[in-house]
Amino acid sequence: MLSLLWTALIGLVVGALAKLVMPGKDPGGILVTMILGIAGSFVGTFLGRLIGHYQEGQSAGFIMSLIGAIVLLAIYHFFRRRQAV
């Protein structure tokens, strides 16, 4: 149970930092920010394994999770701008 709370807290911090770094209007409140951070960790783990930084069974650290969340926000902004035009 404590592990889920810790994951949610780290996800919130990572998502908030990603929203702070990326310019523009971002969606959602605290729950969407938390989900963004947690999803960023999954993307960061995938990217890290793709480049050979992480082995099987390892997960992304804080920096790689932040990079993953920024990638997800960049994809969101790309599609949002594309729909507006």
- Supply the pLDDT for residue 60: 80
Q: What is the pLDDT along the chain (85 residues), one digit of tens a residue?
A: 677 788 788 888 998 999 899 887 777 788 888 888 899 888 888 888 898 888 888 878 889 899 999 999 989 888 887 776 6
For residue 49, what are its two tokens? Answer: 């394994």
- Supply the pLDDT for residue 84: 66
Range of the domain at 42: 2-84
Give φ, ψ of 59 to 5 degrees: -120, 165
Number of domains in the chain: 1
Output the pTM of the full model: 0.83
